[in-house]
């Protein structure tokens, strides 16, 4: 009923509709492509089984790497000790002088060698005899020497000698260089092997890879 200019009255009140709860948005599952995706899904679904195997393989790898590092360190410690010995062989020969080769006489000689089959073979080698002439504080020293390399008259050499006893000499000083290389090389390789061991211990996949190799070698 409408009365005067008023709005409709006596209309029934509509009931309030309950608010529907908001459904949580489901996370979108990433689509794994092809064979790699299937492998990843298999790994994720079997973590409880694979993790103990992975841990055991990594442990085997760590044990193998520790043992290998110990062996490497022992070997190169021996090499370092040998290098120190070689380095000090001629440590008393601290002075050097220029020498000349005199009265050089070179001949060829036949020598017999036995090969790996037990057969004797003839080998021609050079043999050179000569005198080394060098001066120390105005005094001339003449020393007989021989070697299998060809040399010529008046070839120059460097003579290292003991200051208190110039008769005690060597030609060249390769021992010093060889010993130094052995020491430096041994130290570097020991440091690298220990660094690699530490890296494999803290980076588990590398330890597991080493363990897998050990297991495959045993199985094969």
Over residues 49-75, the pLDDT tens digits come to 666 777 777 788 888 888 989 999 999
Whether 157 is covered by a domain: the verdict is: yes
Whether 1 is covered by a domain: the verdict is: no
Whether 35 is covered by a domain: the verdict is: no
Query: Is 194 in the same domain as 164?
Result: no
Whether 40 is covered by a domain: the verdict is: no
Please give the order of strands across the beta sheet that includes 139-147. Answer: 139-147, 120-136, 95-114, 156-162, 165-171
- Does the pLDDT at position 1 exceed 50? no
Query: Is 102 in the same domain as 161?
Result: yes
- Do 111 and 98 contact (CB within 8 A), yes or no? no
- DSSP assignment of 140-178 equals EEEEEEEESS---TT-EEEEEEETTEEEEEEES-HHHHH
Query: Is 168 in the same domain as 106?
Result: yes
- Does the pLDDT at position 31 exceed 60? no
Query: Is 210 in the same domain as 163?
Result: no
Whether 29 is covered by a domain: the verdict is: no
Query: Is 143 in the same domain as 105?
Result: yes
> Tell me, what's the pLDDT at 78?
96
> Tell me, what's the pLDDT at 117?
73
Query: Is 74 in the same domain as 102?
Result: no
Query: Is 125 in the same domain as 151?
Result: yes
- Do 135 and 97 contact (CB within 8 A), yes or no? yes
Tens of pLDDT, residues 77-135: 999 999 999 888 888 888 888 888 888 888 887 777 777 777 777 777 888 888 889 99
Between the CA of residue 28 and those of 7, 31, 36, what are the distances in Å? 52, 9, 19
d(CA 126, CA 41): 73
Query: Is 115 in the same domain as 136?
Result: yes
Query: Is 102 in the same domain as 59?
Result: no
Query: Is 148 in the same domain as 78?
Result: no
For residue 19, give every residue at least 6 positions away whose Cβ sits within 8 Å of its Cβ, in sequence order, or none. none
Q: How many domains does the chain have?
A: 2
pTM of the model: 0.58
Query: Is 103 in the same domain as 61?
Result: no
d(CA 41, CA 38): 5
Whether 38 is covered by a domain: the verdict is: no
- The C-alpha torsion from 186 through 187 and 188 to 192, rounded to 10°, is 100
Which one has a higher pLDDT value, 193 or 111?
Answer: 193
Structural domain containing residue 198: 45-86+181-219
Mean pLDDT throughout 165-181? Answer: 85
- Angle at which helix 47-87 crosses helix 204-219, to 10 degrees, equals 90
Residue (of 180, 183, 177, 174) closest to 78 by Cα position? 183
d(CA 100, CA 97): 10
Whether 31 is covered by a domain: the verdict is: no
Query: Is 143 in the same domain as 99?
Result: yes
Whether 66 is covered by a domain: the verdict is: yes
Mean pLDDT throughout 26-52? Answer: 57
> Tell me, what's the pLDDT at 110?
77
- Mean pLDDT score of the chain, rounded to an integer? 78
């Amino acid at each position: 009923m409408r009365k005067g200019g008023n709005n409709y009255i006596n209309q029934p009140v509509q009931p309030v509709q309950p608010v529907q709860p908001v459904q949580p948005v489901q996370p979108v599952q990433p689509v794994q492509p092809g064979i790699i995706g299937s492998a990843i899904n298999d790994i994720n679904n079997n973590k409880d089984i694979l993790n103990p195997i992975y841990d055991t393989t990594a442990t085997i790898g760590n044990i193998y790497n520790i043992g290998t590092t110990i062996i490497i360190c022992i070997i190169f410690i021996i090499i370092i000790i040998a290098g120190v010995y070689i380095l000090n062989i001629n440590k008393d020969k601290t002075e050097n002088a220029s020498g000349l080769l005199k009265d050089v006489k070179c001949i060829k000689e036949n020598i017999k060698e036995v090969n790996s089959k037990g057969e004797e073979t003839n080998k021609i080698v050079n043999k050179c005899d000569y005198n080394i002439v060098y001066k120390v504080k105005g005094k001339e020293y003449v020393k007989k020497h021989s070697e299998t390399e060809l040399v010529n008259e008046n070839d120059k050499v460097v003579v290292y000698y003991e200051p208190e006893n110039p008769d005690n000499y060597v030609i060249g000083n390769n021992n010093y260089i060889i010993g130094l290389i052995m020491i430096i090389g041994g130290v570097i390789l020991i440091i690298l092997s220990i660094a690699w061991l530490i890296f494999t211990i803290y980076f588990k996949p590398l330890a597991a890879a080493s363990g897998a190799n050990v297991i495959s070698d045993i199985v094969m």
